[in-house]
């Protein structure tokens, strides 16, 4: 058993710290590697991974990746990125056979690959606005400003709770499976 495989197995036994997770995931090639492993069952070959990563980076189909582009990606994956990910236990990298496989941490990290497309509704601003309007209504009711006091406070509270619940339910439903893989596919469709 090689030292890298032993190191990977011991790393999987330990939980990753947030610092390790974000340190690894701040690199785009690491994210593309996780995406490719997620899409493909079983071990993948370094050459296939390099083609995929190069295609993502150069925004072209795998068939249009040049040998120079592939080689640049292949070399940095082999010498830097994959050994680093293997060391933290995020993947298993067998440098002798040029294969990369998932670990227990690989699937866990796909949660961190979730992204929100730029065209999506700005939910943070929506919830902030909803909170501000709710607070304003409560303040107006507290002060006793007419015509707001014509409606009982329990009706206002019910209305606010319903709007919040419906909003959160829709937000949860709409964003339940938006991950990097689906976002890339969605963006590719919109470009065509």
Last residue of one domain, picked from the residues 113, 135, 169: 113
127 in the same domain as 36: no
* Dihedral pair phi/psi, residue 99, rounded to 5°: -115, 150
**Residue range 152-163, pLDDT digits in tens:** 999 999 999 999
Is residue 24 a part of any domain in this protein? yes
91 in the same domain as 64: yes
What secondary structure letter does DSSP report for 77? Answer: I
Res 10: pLDDT: 43
Q: Using a cut of 0.85, tell me whether the model's pTM lies above it.
A: no
Res 99: pLDDT: 92
Last residue of one domain, picked from the residues 81, 113, 145: 113
pLDDT at 177 over 70: no
155 in the same domain as 94: no
Is residue 167 a part of any domain in this protein? yes
Last residue of one domain, picked from the residues 113, 148, 174: 113
> Cα–Cα distances in Å, from 52 out to 47, 55, 71, 97, 181?
9, 5, 12, 19, 13
pLDDT at 121 over 90: no
163 in the same domain as 90: no
Is residue 22 a part of any domain in this protein? yes
Is residue 118 a part of any domain in this protein? no
pLDDT at 4 over 70: no
Cβ–Cβ < 8 Å for 77, 50: yes
Locate all alpha helices (DSSP H) within 26-122, ordered by sequence.
28-39, 46-57, 67-76, 82-88, 104-109
Task: Give the domain range for residue 158.
Answer: 123-191
Res 93: pLDDT: 92
Task: Report how many domains make up the chain.
Answer: 2
Give the confidence band of 118 by pLDDT, cuts at 50, 70, 90: very low
What CATH number is attached to the domain comprising 79? Answer: 1.10.10
- Cα–Cα distance between 91 and 107 in angstroms, integer? 10
Give the confidence band of 181 by pLDDT, cuts at 50, 70, 90: very low
């Amino acid at each position: 058993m090689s030292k890298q495989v032993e190191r990977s197995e011991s790393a999987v036994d330990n939980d990753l710290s947030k610092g390790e997770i974000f340190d690894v995931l701040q690199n785009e090639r690491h994210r593309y590697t996780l995406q490719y492993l997620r899409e493909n069952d079983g071990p993948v070959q370094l050459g296939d991974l390099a083609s995929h990563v190069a295609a993502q980076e150069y925004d072209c189909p795998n068939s249009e990746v040049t040998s120079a582009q592939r080689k640049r990606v292949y070399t940095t994956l082999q010498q830097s990125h994959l050994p680093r990910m293997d060391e933290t236990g995020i993947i298993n990298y067998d440098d002798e056979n040029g294969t990369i496989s998932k670990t227990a941490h690989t699937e866990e990290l796909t949660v961190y690959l979730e992204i929100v497309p730029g065209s999506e509704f700005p939910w943070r601003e929506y919830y902030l606005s909803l909170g501000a309007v709710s607070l304003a209504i409560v303040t107006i009711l507290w002060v006793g400003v007419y015509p707001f006091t014509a409606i009982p406070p329990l009706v206002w509270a019910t209305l606010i709770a319903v709007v919040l619940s419906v909003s959160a339910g829709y937000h949860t439903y709409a964003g339940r499976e938006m991950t990097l893989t689906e976002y890339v596919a969605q963006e590719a469709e919109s470009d065509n």
